Amino acid sequence: MKKVFIGVVGVVLILLATALIVPSFIDWNDYKDEIAKRAGAFTGRELVIGGDIGLTLLPAPALVATDVRLANVDGAADADMIRLKSLEIRVALGPLLSGEIQVGKVKLVEPVVNLEILADGRKNWEFARRHEGGETAAPGSAPGDGTGLPLAVRLDSVEIENGVVVYRDAAAGTAERIDDLNATVSATSLRGPFAFTGRLRVRDIPLGLRIAVGEIVEGRAVPITMTLTTDPGASRVDVRGIVRGPTDSPSFEGRVTAEGKSLARLIQTAVPGALPGFLGQAFDADGEVTASRSDLAIAELSVRLGETRATGTLSAKLGDEISAVGRLAAGRIDLDSWLAMPTVPAGSALTAEGGGRSAKPKDATFQLPTGINVSVSVSTDAITYRGDIVRRARANADLAGGEITISQMSALLPGGSEVSLFGFVSAPDGAPQFDGERGEIGRPARRARLARRRHLGRSTRPPSRLCRPQQAVGVPGTGAGTEHRRAGGRFAGDRRGDLGDFQAIGFRRRPDDRSNQPRRLPAGGFRRWIGAGGFGGHRVEG
C-alpha cells in the first residue's frame, strides 16, 4: 500500500513538473494567429504580433510578446491605436487556481497610444466585440455585469516605460501630445481604487503626477486626490475632492491649491523671454472649485505674490465660446519694491531647471484671442509709489471679439487728484494699439497740501482759491510709441516716446488760455518741483 501511495505521488509530481516545464519548450509563435484571433474577437480590432511570443509557468505564469500592434478604427489619422515595443504580463499562480485573476506585473515598453475623436463623432477607444453572427455595439460583457468588465481582475503593478499618448479631436481641430511617460499604475479591481505615480512631458514641460481615485460605484461620489509638480519654478498643484456621476455626466467639487518658488519661471515654460522682476517672487493660490463639462466656478479664491495677497472669485461658461467673469481685490501693493527687483532674464528655463528640451521659438506677432469673452475687475486699497500712496486703484476690462475694452481705470493720487483712463486695446497689424482718453480732477484743499509737500512754497491764498484742474487726453498709440494730445486746460501739446521708457514730456503754452495752476508760485518753484521728481522725474520744456 505504501508503495502504491508513493507511486501515485510520484506520477502526480511528474505530471505537475511536466505541466510547468514543458510550456517553456513549446514554440508559442505557432499560436500567434490563434491568440490574435481571440483578441480580435474581444476587441473588434485586428491584433498583430510582429515579434516573438514566450510563455513560462515558473516561478509564476508569464507572457512576453514583442512588436504588438492593435489596429485603429476606419478613418482614424493613425493606422494603429496602440503600438508596443514589448509587452510582459505576470499572473499570480495561487489566486488563478481559485478563479481570481491577480496580475502581479504588466510592463509596457515604449507604448504609443493614439486616442481620437473622429469628425463624425466616433471615439476610437470604444470597442465592439465580434461574434460569429455579426458584431455587437458594446465591448465584451460578462454575465451579470452591465459594464462588460471582468471585475475579478486585480492589477498589482502596471509599469509604463518611455510611453507616448496622442489625443486628437478632428471636429475641433485640436491635438495634444504626452511624451516621456514613465509611470506605475495599480488597481484593486477594474472599478478601482486606482493609483497612478509617474513623470511625463506635456508641451515640452516636464511634469510629475500622482493620482489616487476611489472605487467607482454607480450612484456614489468618487473621491479623488491629485498632485501635479513642475520643475521650472518648483511649482506644485494639489487637488482634493469628489467626482459625481463619473460614468455619465461627471462633475467635480473640491479644493485646489497651488504654490511655487518663482511665478516667472513657471510662465517662461510657456512664454519664453525676459519678465518683470516682481514675477520672480514666490506665489500661492487656493480656492473652492466646482466644475462640470459646461461650467467652472472658483469661490473663496486667495492669491499671494511675494508679500501681496488678494482675494476674489471666478466663474466661467465652457463650450464652443468660453465666457468668464473674474474679480480680484488686493489690500496693499508695494510698487517701489516691485520696481526695484531685477528683471528675470530670458533663457532656456526648461533646459536649466527641467533638464528637458527647450521650447520652440514662437511667432512674436501680438494677437488677442477670439471666441472667448472675459470680464475682469481688479482693485487695490493702496499702492506705494515713490514714497507716496496711491489709493483706491480700480480697473474694469472686457475681452470680446479680439478687442479689450477698458471701461474703468482710476486711482486717487497723492494730494487728492483723481486720474482715470478708458479706451480700447486691439491688434490690427500684429502689434498692440491703444485708443482712449485720460481724465484728471483735483481737489483744492489736498492740492494745497501737495504743493507744500512738493516744495512749491506756502501759498498765501486759501485752498478755496486754488482751482480744480481738469484734463482729458486722447491717447492713440501702438506698441512702438504713443501720442498725447491736450484737449483742454492751459497747456496744449503732444509727446511721443517709447512706451517702455518714457523720458520726456513737452508742453506748449497757449497765450490765449488762462492758467488753472495754483495762482501764487514762488520764483523758480515750478522748475524746482520738476527737478525734485515732479511728474515722475520727466523733463519739462517750455
Query: Mind listing the pLDDT tens digit for each residue in 162-220?
Result: 999 999 998 888 899 999 999 999 988 878 899 999 999 998 889 999 999 999 888 88
pTM of the predicted structure, to 2 decimals? 0.68
CB 199 within 8 Å of CB 209? yes
- Give the CA diameter of the chain: 135
What burial class does residue 538 get, using C-beta atoms within 10 Å of its C-beta: 0-12 exposed, 13-18 middle, 19+ buried?
Answer: middle
97 occurs within a structural domain: no
Structural domains of the chain, count: 1
The mean pLDDT value of the chain amounts to 75
Q: Is residue 449 part of a domain?
A: yes
Domain assignment of residue 251, yes or no: no
Residue 223 placed within a domain = no
Q: Would you say residue 234 lies in a domain?
A: no
Q: Is residue 520 part of a domain?
A: yes
Q: What is the mean pLDDT of residues 284-305?
A: 95
Higher-pLDDT residue of 530 and 194 is 194
- Is residue 317 a part of any domain in this protein? no
The answer to the question of residue 508 being in a domain is yes
In this prediction, residues 463-481 reach a mean pLDDT of 45
Range of the domain at 431: 413-541
Percent of the chain residues topping a pLDDT of 90: 36
pLDDT in tens, 23-70: 555 666 777 788 778 877 777 888 888 898 887 777 778 888 999 999
- Evaluate the omega torsion of the peptide bond into residue 59 and state whether it is cis, within 30 degrees of 0: yes
What are the CA-CA distances from residue 195 to residues 16, 212, 224, 225 (Å)? 37, 5, 10, 10
Separation between Cα atoms, residue 521 and residue 507, nearest integer Å: 18
Q: What is the pLDDT of residue 162?
A: 96
Most confidently modeled of 11-15, 22-26, 114-118, 232-236? 114-118
DSSP 154-166: EEEEEEEEEEEEE
DSSP 314-333: EEEE-SSSEEEEEEEEEEEE
CA dist., res. 330 & res. 326, Å (int): 14
